[in-house]
Structure 1
């Protein structure tokens, strides 16, 4: 296309440096805005994880057989549920690119919904910058634009606000992007409603069981299994002990004896 695709320091605006964050974007797949899409330059297959496939309400009959396994870094083999062709749109009108992509549907836990791999980036004539957390696309219309995670998906920086003067234990956090007027109004509103805050365990007298109640959904006819006791590191064990003592002191929990069934602390 005889186009220069480049990045500069201006493209790092909004990115906290230094960082080792992955490039995560939002794309439109089959008409749905799909978040948590990892851009990976190192692999050769586009992956759609089964929970995302189900959330897109795709017909399972669209899956075509795929017999070859995927091999992870650890050497484990994962056999895809199948391969599916989906319509993917990058960007927003008028600067957008719509193409069909073949995804391998994989059923295994991961924090992402989709992984876009090297062959697709090459088809899109895309250049990525992990430093800037952005990608540039070259298109026939002779323009370049940035695709990146939407502003509303980013984690906003927070500031700590003291709600009771002189008491550093009674604070909360608010966003740093508020206008001065909105910031002042929000702080005043929070101060006027201090009674809704629980500063300690003692401030939470409890919830009536008819409002909400947590139960273990177990079959009483089945024999309980005793877990093998886990050993915790000293610091973690002390943290558990401190938390248990807090809950005991305010009556949230009580000590009981189960000779046949025990569970480790969570």
Structure 2
């Protein structure tokens, strides 16, 4: 798992207090309003969503999506990532033909500090959310033959 942010060792006391104030000022809503535009949905969290969280927290955002014809669970949303990663075992389970892979020669750096070369690139349509508040996007994934607790990183 890739972790960064305020969980770093040696964080100054003042910075911790500032972070705690920021986290505790998040306002939660109890209802989700109807979407004005389906192509740009808002993400809202309710009191129920925050019920089991301990603040401050740095939990990973793990979601489920639909990729192609498959429902994919254990999808890590990582804003700091510069690439969308689809792990090879997941790629195999999706029964996507290797002929759809576009070769690439660019190494990825950051997987345990080593350089990893992808097996190729594939573009998949993904759907996030539930009707009517969902969005469909074509996403380019690098196929990486590594083990992971996740199926993909977006």
Select which of 54, 67, 70 maps to 1:29.
67
CA apart distance, 1:21: 2.1
Greater RCO (Cα-Cα under 8 Å, separation 6 or more): 2
Unaligned runs of 5+ in 1: 117-266
**1:43-62 alignment to 2 at 5 Å?**
43-62=81-100
Map Cα deviations across residues 228-254 of structure 1 (whole Å, 9 max, x no partner): xxxxxxxxxxxxxxxxxxxxxxxxxxx
CA apart distance, 1:6: 7.8
CA distance 1:105–1:13, change in 2 (3 Å): same
CA apart distance, 1:20: 3.3
Map Cα deviations across residues 6-30 of structure 1 (whole Å, 9 max, x no partner): 8677264343314432100000000
**1:42-191 alignment to 2 at 5 Å?**
42-72=80-110, 74-116=112-154
CA distance 1:8–1:30, change in 2 (3 Å): closer
Bigger helix fraction: 1
Q: Aligned partners of 2:68, 2:44: CA distance in 1, in Å? A: 30
CA distance 1:114–1:6, change in 2 (3 Å): closer
CA distance 1:73–1:31, change in 2 (3 Å): closer
TM-score w.r.t. length of structure 2: 0.66
CA distance 1:75–1:13, change in 2 (3 Å): closer
* DSSP 3-state at the match of 1:87: strand
RMSD: 2.3
CA apart distance, 1:59: 0.7
Unaligned runs of 5+ in 2: 1-35
Map Cα deviations across residues 67-96 of structure 1 (whole Å, 9 max, x no partner): 000001643100000000111011122221
Select which of 1, 6, 15 maps to 2:52.
15
Bigger strand fraction: 2
CA distance 1:13–1:111, change in 2 (3 Å): same
> Which has more radius of gyration?
1
Aligned residue pairs, count: 114
Map Cα deviations across residues 138-195 of structure 1 (whole Å, 9 max, x no partner): xxxxxxxxxxxxxxxxxxxxxxxxxxxxxxxxxxxxxxxxxxxxxxxxxxxxxxxxxx
CA distance 1:7–1:34, change in 2 (3 Å): closer
TM-score w.r.t. length of structure 1: 0.39
